[in-house]
A = this chain, B = another copy of it.
């Protein structure tokens, strides 16, 4: 066996590929729903890296599906158009004029930008919204009173997604949904990703966030909880030790796992190649929630 000096670097790289093999084998053919949002959507370099990670996942045999939010782009456009936002209990009231802009920015700008980037990186993406092929059916969410066209998903029709996966495409989904009343509803992207993952019985739901994951001590970034089973996760939800913004995310993960998703992950989208790290390393970098046993996780 020869380890010629001149190829030292290359051999080290080959070794890395070989190290990834068990993970590639494990997840080959599996479906992964990724909620894309937060900082990873704002920083140009991060954006590109996330999409590289997704294209790589596709090429090594996984089936990634991207569900994206809108974030600051929507606010910027509303502002430019002078549409004022009213708030009730900190939640934006989405009237018809606002909804129109939300849909336009989500499906006409952010969605297409993601599609462009994936295609440019060698993947094959198709961007759709929850209306296309009747993918996401919603009804008015009145849990916070009437705040307009804010919806909750009542049905997911996965036909459009499976059609695209069969043909090798990466689906990119904006969570604007249709209602039986002919109206368009805006739906939280985390929830949409969770519901889609449930409907697909996905292997993984991954929420890209702007935090490290779930911290056992909210003030100590080194207290990251790497793995939680369902019981543990539910206890934690009710413990009062969880940050407000994290509550709906953890809830979404818990529901997904309860409804058939194998693992749900909350990871730090601000970290370079966080998706690859979470999937292709033993430890992962965020918090993973699963039904019960973790002995074979990640492998």
Given contacts A15-B273, A103-B112, A125-B132, contact A10 B61 (CB under 8 A): no
Q: B17, B53, B115: which contacts A276 (Cβ < 8 A)?
A: B17
Could you mark each residue 14-41 of chain A with 1 if its beta carbon is under 8 Å from any beta carbon of chain B, else 0?
1111111110110010000000000000
Q: Which chain B positions have C-beta within 8 A of A167? A: 159, 163
A interface residues, tally (CB under 8 Å)? 79
Q: A116 with B169: in contact, given A10-B281, A277-B11 (CB under 8 Å)?
A: no
Contact, CB under 8 Å: B280 / A14: yes
Q: How many copies does the complex hold?
A: 6
Instruction: Decide: A184 and B18 in contact? CB cutoff 8 A.
Output: no
A55 within 8 A of B: yes
A16 proximity list for chain B (CB < 8 A): 13, 16-17
Shortest Cβ distance from residue A125 to the other chain B in the assembled complex, whole angstroms: 7
* Other contacts beyond A16-B16, A100-B109, A128-B132: 12, CB < 8 A: A10-B285, A11-B272, A17-B276, A18-B53, A21-B56, A21-B122, A25-B122, A107-B107, A108-B109, A115-B131, A116-B184, A119-B134
The answer, among B106, B108, B272, for a CB contact under 8 Å with A2, is B272
- Asked whether A81 is an interface residue with its Cβ less than 8 Å from the other chain, the reply is yes
| Interchain CA distance A265-B176 in the complex, whole Å | 35
Given B133, B176, B270, which contacts A169 in the complex, CB threshold below 8 Å?
B133
A45 to B3: give the CA distance in the assembly, Å: 12
Q: Chain B: which residue is nearest A80 at the CB level?
A: B81
In the complex, chain B residues whose CB is within 8 Å of the CB of A125? 132-133
| Most chain B CB inside 10 Å of its own CB: which residue of A43, A104, A111, A285 | A104
Closest chain B residue to A269 by CB distance? B2
Give A124-143 as 1s and 0s: 1 = Cβ < 8 Å from B's Cβ atoms: 11111101111000000000
How far is B127's CA from A176's CA once the two chains are assembled, in angstroms?
13
The answer to the question of A60 belonging to the interface, with a C-beta cut-off of 8 Å to chain B, is yes
Residue of B nearest to A128 (CB): B126
Residues of B close to A104: CB separation below 8 A: 104-105, 108-109
Q: In whole angstroms, how far apart are the Cα atoms of A206 and B10 in the complex?
A: 19
How far apart sit A61 and B128, CA to CA, in the bound complex (Å)? 25
